[in-house]
Amino acid sequence: MRIVLLGAPGSGKGTQAARLKEALGVIHVSTGDLLRAQVAAGTELGRAAKAVMEAGQLVSDEIVLGMLEARLREADAAGGFILDGYPRNVAQAGALDALLARIGQPLDQAVQLDVDESLLFDRLAGRAAAEGRKDDNPETVRQRLSVYAAQTAPVIDFYAARGALKRVDGVGTVDEVLARILAALGVAVA
Ligand code: AP5
């Protein structure tokens, strides 16, 4: 199965993707994690991305697409994948269609996790305290939410317009949200 997980910062994309990959037997590809790995390794790409990420802005489409294509061309992606954090704007959604056509792996479904903004702040404040992620401070979270509303929210309509979108309530326990996603995907749980 090939899925895009959509949702605002803190909506639970990473948390659910980690569980879904076990349930579906596919890989989890997070562009945020790929970028953070480049930053941690101090590569040229990571040095270019670091300040942009810490400001809560989007890294350039070209950099992210190149990184994503390299990952999806690895052998373990052949069995399917969950994309978390991509596409982030309508241009990336179009680029993803073209990439998936190039590698012969068309998308099955996009899943949108809906969570109220006040709860997003609470969750990211909790993660800031627990993990110290640099872009989880309140000011940068506000910026990330504003970028999401302006650039990423239109991606929801992009998939809805082609009848490939499932909307899922992302509020509840991790298990409850996981069960809703699997039900939306029509996956029977043992
Ligand atoms: P990225 O890493 O993608 O960050 P994000 O979209 O802001 O997502 P988050 O990781 O904050 O949230 P999430 O929805 O995954 O929630 P999570 O499960 O972690 O991107 C970071 C940056 O990289 C971007 O700002 C940008 O600069 C750059 N970037 C990445 N992709 C890009 C792209 N395609 N183009 C350009 N730039 C790009 O959960 C959050 C917290 O909530 C956790 O503490 C978790 O434990 C908790 N939680 C989760 N679910 C629940 C629940 N059900 N109940 C209670 N708590 C919960």
Atom 30 of ligand 1 has which residue's CA nearest to it? 32
**Given its phi and psi angles, is residue 56 left (phi above 0), alpha (psi -120 to 50 degrees) or beta?**
left
Q: List, in sequence order, every residue forming a beta bridge with 29; answer none if it has no partner.
A: 83
- H-helix or E-strand spanning residue 168: strand 165-169
Rounded mean pLDDT, 27-52: 97
Distance 129 CA to ligand 1 centre (A): 15
The pLDDT-based confidence of 188 (bands split at 50, 70, 90) is confident
Q: What are the residue boundaries of the structural domains of the chain, listed by start?
A: 2-28+78-184
Mean pLDDT for 129-152 is 97
Give me the pLDDT at residue 109, please.
Answer: 97
* CATH architecture of the domain covering 2-28+78-184: 3-Layer(aba) Sandwich (3.40)
pLDDT tens for each residue of 151-176: 999 999 999 999 999 999 999 999 99
**pLDDT of residue 91 exceeding 70:** yes
Q: Which whole number is the average pLDDT over 183-190?
A: 88
Residue 190 has what pLDDT?
A: 64
Sheet containing 81-84, strands listed edge to edge, beginning at the edge strand earlier in sequence:
27-30, 81-84, 2-7, 109-114, 165-169
Ligand 1 centroid from CA 10, angstroms: 5
The percent of residues above 90 in pLDDT, for the chain, comes to: 98
Could you tell me the pLDDT band of residue 189, with boundaries at 50, 70 and 90? confident
- Copy the structure tokens of residue 70: 């390299």
Pocket of ligand 1, beta carbon within 6 A: 7, 9-15, 31-32, 35, 52-53, 56-59, 64, 85-86, 88, 92, 123, 126-127, 135, 144, 172-174, 177
Question: Measuring from atom 20 of ligand 1, which residue has the nearest CA?
Answer: 32
Give the catalytic positions in this structure.
13, 88, 127, 133, 144
Mean pLDDT of the region 140-159: 98
Gap from CA of 103 to ligand 1 centroid (Å): 27
Q: What is the mean pLDDT of residues 122-144?
A: 96
Query: Do 117 and 86 contact (CB within 8 A), yes or no?
Result: no
- When pLDDT is averaged across residues 103-120 and rounded to a whole number, the result is 97
Q: Say how far apart CA 28 and CA 22 lie, in whole Å.
A: 9
Question: From atom 6 of ligand 1, which residue's Cα is the shortest distance away?
Answer: 9
Tokens of 3: 């899925």
Determine the average pLDDT of the residues in 123-145.
Answer: 96
